[in-house]
Structure formats: structure tokens, C-alpha cells
Chains A and B, each alone.
Chain A
């Protein structure tokens, strides 16, 4: 960032490359809409460009980036409160066609191709489960698992105490477990059957 302040565009490109993936995944999971996440990611870096002069070397770039991203997400969540994105619900409607739950289809898969399919299905299930978390729990979960932030950093970002952040994380995990429980049980049973 200091190099970019001096006019080094390559330094800024490296900064983007270093942080864009995590920001993208955080934004995508948080807003649950790819197009919106794309706009927000671009806005994050544009704000960095605009505010590059004001950046102080003492500040951590990743923290600064995430602060911008979180503020954008918060604004977006307020706007989308009354028009919830239902992209995942559309996928849910498509499930009814086969008459089987996704977890059932994942559990029915076998072989490498089937394992790959199962991995994508699990990921989709996790994606859906994370998206259905309450905002405060989703925020803490994504900060920790996607942005690799410590609970102390998360607490500083969200403006809550560290025990509160951990409590939110615990509730988030309990919700995910309830969503992924059948998958967990099914996967465990499949593993037991495969074991000689």
C-alpha cells in the first residue's frame, strides 16, 4: 500500500491479488448473491484507491479491507432486508423434481466420480446452511473461517466482546450441525459400510 501511495501500480495489483479471493468468498457467502458480491468487491478496492492517500502505514491492510467490506455488507443487508435473495430457494425448488433430498443423493453416491459429486453437494449444502445463518452468526463464522481473523479481531470489528463473539460462533456451529447432521450421519454410515 505504501508503494502504491508512491505511484507503484504493480504494488496495488499485488495487494488486490493477495486479498481479493478471501474478500470475494466472504462477500459471496455474506450477501448470498454473486452479482452483488462482485459489485461489492469492486467497490471495496475502489474505496481503497480513493482513500489511498489517507492510509497510514500503521494500519493493517487486511483489517482495513475487511472493515470496508463489512460496512458494505451491512449496508447491503439493510437494503436487502425486505427483498431477500432467494437464489438458493430456487435451487431448493429444483430439488423437489427428483423427490430426493440432496443429502440423500450425496449419501447414495459411490466411487470417485460419486465422491466428487458428493463433495460438490456437501459444499452446496454448507453454502446454503451458512447462508441461512443469522447475520450476526454468519458474520462471525465467515470472519473466522474465510477471513482467518482471530476472535479478538472479530470482536474489535463487530464492536462486541470476545465472549459474545465466541457465543455467536457456538450458535452458528450448532445451526450448521443441525443442517448438516444428516449428511454427517450419512457420511459416517457410508464410511462404516466401506470399511472392511
Chain B
């Protein structure tokens, strides 16, 4: 064994962790090596002194306060543990499982539900204040302007598309191929239409009124789209007293719903075609101005040309007109106006002529329509205000103007009621005067 090995094995020797054979070899070297022997003796002596000191004078007891604190903490921990183990048996009651209990356990739901409630209230307020924020909502048709003429049989077969479908305005949205309608159902004569439109100065309309007066306006516009989709060209807006027809052809772009609502009213008269303006055709696209497109046709505008027709379709005129007005108020017909600016480039000569003459006539017809509506409203107002004489006169004028109007019956009833009320008023006045005379006589 070498001296370096003795130095490395010194700890094992001192702590007696050396195998016996190695220990003997170790001792043999130490006994023969003075330096290693001195090192072993000195280290052993140092260790002895240190051990004696550490286990003698230096081995002190810890302060008693430490034990006291520790035992106190241990006792407190035991008490807490005992109380915790007792709590679950006594304090755990079945938790309520109601809505508010669950809400209380999930506090993040409170602001979420609050926000949802606020949003609902805001939406309801907006809807109440402006019902037209709902896309499908239509103003109620309460007045009938005229009696639309009978429809051609073919138009009855055109089915409206679903209510939820929306159609972009031609030129402003991608074109779509619409389901084609049987071309034979329509009298396709675009030349005749052009002539009619040019002569009447009316924009082309092509659709028919549906039976439901409430949704007649929209369905009319859709029917126009269907027609244009089936024929590729939108039938012209029928002038008063003339039928409008579509022309078969390819697909056409469809107007959006807003644009549909800004389309003109339905013309009534002639052989019985209820026409609505359709800007969807490429050839005939004449985007209607929000107000001017209304081509209404009240019997006051063309009483001679107007012919009897289903009252429901006539109601649609007013419906479309009101929708048109509301759309114009809300700026919904801007796209139609933009389209109109482009339209002259695509219009045939006859259309140009019609367009050139159209606005004045449109405004005149619209004005007449409005005046008729105003008269109806005024009559209703007078009747409601119990101004019997004036109301009766107003209703009589309406009856004289549109004797076949479906509302004429109501008007007549109101005339009779007004007359009766006048009679009663006169009788009451007479009785009062008589009673006054009797009183004076008694005096």
C-alpha cells in the first residue's frame, strides 16, 4: 500500500468501515511509515477531541420554549383536524340545486346573463321603435287603392321563392341562375312591351300580385325575378291598362331584398297583368328610383282604363308603395339608384324614350296615388274624429272614385253610420231645443 492510498483510506480506517484484509494491509503500512503513522495519529486525536467536545460540553439541550411552541402548534393542528373531520358530518347539508344556486356557484354567468339581457332589451327597443329593422316585416295594408285587373292564367302558375331568399341587385352582385319557369306561361313579347313602356312612359314591371295582400309586394317583386330568371329578361313594367309580359331567355341577376322593397308598385289595369318593376334583367334593367318607380295605378290615375280585379292584388299596390316609401326613407334604394345610372347604357331605344318621359309621369301617378291614399286616410280620420258630415262626404267621394274597391263596402257602411250619427245629432239637438222651449214655456 502506498502513502497516498493510506491518506485516501484514512476516513475508512477511523470509522472502521474498512474490510479486515485491507485494514491489516493499512496497519502494516502505517507501522512501517513514520509520516503516515503521524498523520493517522494526529487525525485520530483531532477526531477524538472534536467528538468529545461535540458530545460533551457542546451537546446542549435546545431551549424549552421551542418544545413548548412546537407542542402547542401540534395540539392546535390536532384540534383543527378534529373540527374538520366533524364538520363534514354535521355541516354539509344538501346544497340547493335551483337556478339561482347554480348561478351563485358560477359567478361568471352573472355578467354574461346581464349582457345578454341588455342586448335583448336594446334589440326589442329598436324593433319597437323601428319595425323595419326586421327584414321580413311589411307595413300592414289597410287601404285599397283600386281593383287590379284579372291576371293572365299563366302568371298564376309562377310560384314565389321562399321568403328567406335574398336576391342581389343586377350588376351589384354575382349573377345566379334562377330556376326557369315555363316560358309558355307567359306572353313573351318584348317588342310589345317596349312599345307599351315607351308609349306610357312607365318602367317595365313584371310580376304578379299574390293572393296574400300582406306579402303581395314582396311576392310581386319575386315573381318579377322569377320571370326574369325564366325568361332572361324582366318583363316591362306594364303601363296602365296594358298587360306586361316577359320574354324568355337566360338567367338574370336578382335584386336584393332591399332593392326589391324599393321597387315600384304594381300597375293595374289592362288585360289584367299585375306588373312590378324588375331591375334584374340585363337588357331591360332600369333600376327604379325609389319613388318614381311606383307605377301605381290607381283608378284615380286612370279610371277609365282600370278594370275590376281581385281586391287582394289591389291592396298589394298600396303595400308596395308603402314599402317603397320606407325604403326610400331608409336609403335602401341606393343600389337601385346606382344601377339606374348605369341602365341607359343597356336600355333599348324604346326604353330610353320611356325613361326620358318616365319620371314626370311617375311622379304624377305617384302623386295621384298619394292623394288618393291621403283622401282615404283623411276620411278615416274624419270618421274617427266623429266629424260625420265631412267623413261622409269624403267616403262618398272615395266610393264615387272607386266604386268597385273592396273597401267600398266599408266606406258605404261608414257613410251610412255617419249619416245616422248626423241624424241622431240633429234629433238630440232638436230634443234639447224642445226641452229648452218647454222650460221657457213653464217659466
A interface, CB within 8 angstroms of B: 4, 7, 9, 12-13, 16-17, 20-21, 23-25, 28-29, 38, 41-42, 45-46, 49-50, 52-53, 119-120, 122-123, 125-127, 129-130, 141, 144-146, 151, 166-167, 169-170, 173-174, 176-177, 180-181, 183-184
Contacts and interface: CB of A to CB of B under 8 A. Distances in A.
Contact of B61 (A21, A50, A125): A21
Name the prevailing secondary structure of the A interface residues.
helix
Given A16-B71, A127-B53, A151-B15, A181 B81 contact: no
Contact of B54 (A17, A38, A41, A145): A145
Interface stretch (B43-51, B152-160, B238-246, B376-384): B43-51
A17 B81 CA distance: 23
A146 B62 CA distance: 14
B77 interface: yes
Nearest to A146: B54
Interface of B: 7-8, 10-12, 14-15, 17, 42-43, 45-47, 49-63, 66-67, 69-71, 73-75, 77-78, 81-82
A45 B54 contact: no
Contacts of B52: 122
B66 A20 contact: yes
B334 to A, nearest CB: 75
B58 A127 contact: yes
Contacts of B82: 7
A173 B62 CA distance: 26
Contact of B59 (A25, A42, A49, A141): A25
Contacts of A184: 42, 45-46, 49
19 contacts: A12-B71, A17-B67, A20-B62, A24-B66, A38-B62, A41-B62, A49-B73, A119-B57, A122-B52, A126-B49, A126-B50, A129-B50, A144-B15, A145-B51, A151-B15, A170-B10, A173-B43, A177-B46, A184-B46
Given A7-B82, A119-B57, A145 B50 contact: yes
The dominant DSSP class at the B interface is helix
Given A7-B81, A38-B66, A25 B60 contact: yes
Given A7-B81, A12-B71, A123-B53, A177 B42 contact: yes
Contacts of B46: 173, 176-177, 180-181, 184
Contacts of B14: 173
Contact of A20 (B15, B57, B67, B73): B67
Contacts of B60: 21, 24-25, 28
Contacts of A52: 77
Nearest to B45: A184
A21 B15 CA distance: 23
Nearest 4 CB-CB pairings of A with B: A24-B62, A123-B57, A126-B53, A123-B53
A131 to B, nearest CB: 11
Nearest to B67: A16
Contacts of A173: 10-11, 14, 43, 46-47
Given A16-B71, A130-B50, A145-B54, A38 B63 contact: yes
A42 B66 contact: yes
Nearest to A125: B53
B62 A9 contact: no
A16 B49 contact: no
B69 A181 contact: no
Nearest to B54: A145
